[in-house]
Amino acid sequence: MTPAAQRAQLLAWIDAEQASLVDTLARFTAAASPNPPGDTREAMGVLSRTLDAAGLAWRLIAPLANAPNLLASFDGSRAGPHLVLNGHVDVFPCEDAPRWRFDPWSGAVAEGRVWGRGVSDMKNGTLALLFAFAWLARLSDRLPGRLTLTAVSDEETGGTWGAQYLVDHHPEVLGDCLLNAEPGAPTTIRFGEKGALRLAITVRTPGCHGAYTHKSASATRIAAAIVGRLEAVTELPVTMEPVVAQALAEGAAEMDRVHLPGAAEVMRRFSLNLGVVRGGTKINMLPGICRLECDIRIPVGERSATVLAAVQAILADYPEASCEIMNCAEPTWSDPGHPMVRHLADACAQTSGFRPRAIASLAATDARKWRMKGVPAFTYGTTATNVAMPDEHTDIAEWLGVVRTLTLAAHAYLHGGAA
């Protein structure tokens, strides 16, 4: 069977098994896996039973008993590249169920959509990769290379016990390339993502009775002054590799369409979000402590050291202030000219009639864990519809297009993606 005939067979299987695919997504969504608390065992059971039904071997790697990671792999009939597929099973918590049209843990199928918490981020992507793995396994005696599936827990809280644990302790998951299916938009292929520097700035003064403002400086007023100065980090100069700058320029219009106007500009700049401000106890007490928690996103091509130096220079003018690094993740990117980008674009053109643009991501994904190990990693998925909001859902027709694209792109990579 030629590669072209194999592609036709894959598309025929996808078309024939649409009902099973949708039913499994509904059941997977209904298997609640909010993180926190992070118990993914029921949801992981849906995946493992699906692999059992396909006659495929799998194993669990569980550094945390209630948050296992699933690993499956098969070899083709001859040497070739090793492609790794990655998705996560945990989802955001849901504390606003009364605001939903459908029970957020029902996996309801209605109006051409599947509804529920986590169906968009990212149970539809994880299941798409699992089915692609199963369909490609049927062709294993005619495929080169090796295909590995990773379904992980703990993504929503940083990945320490999920993707990070796998890449650190199980090098068999690294491979030659990583394909992830986080949501974004089917019109975009994400080759990188911004970094994040999260800082806690604490201002301490003696504090006193609110009538005696001459006795102590106000921690909240000093914090307010610092906040005004911190805006300067958004104007820091940015240096990018020419290939990255070109890709982001070419994808700017699509970024603005998908994420609303301004997204393309924010992608290429440092951004600042003052997420938490805590100061003061009582209206007639002068505050002696104020804590600011800042989320600073770092554009592709820059480093956390640049913005940290700028923050420290500002704080040098405020001896009452101290700074703590809560978390730091450097920006990561892979070559937008990598064969996987071409395979995804070609597959999408064949199955959906358009060629997606290569862009970077504003938010973080587990793909960065592989990039940090030197493995090229790319993300392609459905539109991020109402993620972490009421009425999260997946459009079934759009999702099936993504399923076809992911499956054909993985097939093409195995046949020659390392070239």
How many angstroms separate the CA atoms of 134 and 149, rounded?
A: 10
Domains of the chain: 3-193+331-416 (3.40.630.10), 195-248+260-329 (3.30.70.360)
**Stretch 354-369: mean pLDDT, rounded?**
94
Task: Encode pLDDT of 129-144 as tens digits.
Answer: 999 999 999 999 999 9
The pLDDT value given to residue 417? 46
**Stretch 14-27: mean pLDDT, rounded?**
98
Confidence of residue 418 (pLDDT cuts 50, 70, 90): very low
- Mean pLDDT computed over every residue of the chain: 96
The pLDDT value given to residue 363? 85
pTM of the model: 0.92
Strands 177-180 and 78-88: parallel
- Tell me what percent of the residues of the chain surpass a pLDDT of 70: 99
Task: Encode pLDDT of 321-345 as tens digits.
Answer: 999 999 999 999 999 999 999 999 9
Dihedral sign of CA atoms 74, 80, 84, 85 in order: negative
The pLDDT value given to residue 419? 35
The pLDDT value given to residue 60? 98
pLDDT for residue 16 is more than 70: yes
| DSSP collapsed to 3 states, 101-136 | CCCCCCCCEECCEEECCCHHHHHHHHHHHHHHHHHH
Task: Encode pLDDT of 41-92 as tens digits.
Answer: 999 999 999 999 999 999 999 999 999 999 999 999 999 999 999 999 999 9
How buried is 323 (Cβ within 10 angstroms: 0-12 exposed, 13-18 middle, 19+ buried)? middle
**Stretch 112-118: mean pLDDT, rounded?**
98
Category of 175 on φ-ψ map: left (φ > 0), alpha (ψ -120 to 50) or beta: left
Task: Enter the tokens of residue 353.
Answer: 């009639």
Task: Enter the tokens of residue 339.
Answer: 């064969």
| Number of other CB atoms surrounding residue 29 within 10 Å | 31
**Stretch 284-303: mean pLDDT, rounded?**
96
Rounded to 10°, the helix 18-30/41-53 angle is 160
**Stretch 177-195: mean pLDDT, rounded?**
97
